[in-house]
Structure 1
């Protein structure tokens, strides 16, 4: 079962990456498959079709998808720590 987590900023980032991916399939200077895979990764909790499409990227680059998911977890934890630190600073003032 897929868990939906709606987020406007993730939708904007994901769709931007998909547009870059589409341009990358036409322009030789951009990596179309890479941007498409990143766009699907960002949108995977927004849309069911993106969640299914990420299966394609997982088959093509099995180790890369796991590493990106691990990096996402670390970045979220880092952001939470920074947010908590700012909240503590704000309460002191």
Structure 2
């Protein structure tokens, strides 16, 4: 049974990865398929369709899940750093 864990940061990062996926498929400099897979994996705790998609990958290629989980953690850490940076810029007092 799937347990939904809503988190705005996970949704923002996952949807951002999914948005970069088609751009990466069209442009040769971005790895589009990786962004689509990573975005789906990040959103697995948010949406039922993503959970089902990850289940298909788990059944077919079980050895890939540890690698995908490591990349997910890197993406989440990067996203958290970017959000913290943006908060620092916003909360900075103007000089003078």
TM tier, shorter chain? 0.5 to 0.7
**Corresponding residue number in structure 1 for 2:15:** 15
**1:7 shift after superposition:** 0.2
**1:59 shift after superposition:** 5.7
Q: Which runs of 5+ in 2 are unaligned?
A: 78-96
Do the aligned partners of residues 60 and 32 (structure 1) sit closer, same or farther apart at CA in structure 2, a change above 3 Å counting? farther
Do the aligned partners of residues 34 and 53 (structure 1) sit closer, same or farther apart at CA in structure 2, a change above 3 Å counting? same
Q: Distance in 2 between matches of 1:47 and 1:9?
A: 14
Q: How many residues align?
A: 73
Q: Which runs of 5+ in 1 are unaligned?
A: 77-93
**1:16 shift after superposition:** 0.2
Q: Tell which has more relative contact order, 1 or 2 (C-alpha 8 A, sep 6+).
A: 2
Q: How big is the alpha-carbon RMSD for the aligned residues of Structure 1 and Structure 2?
A: 2.4
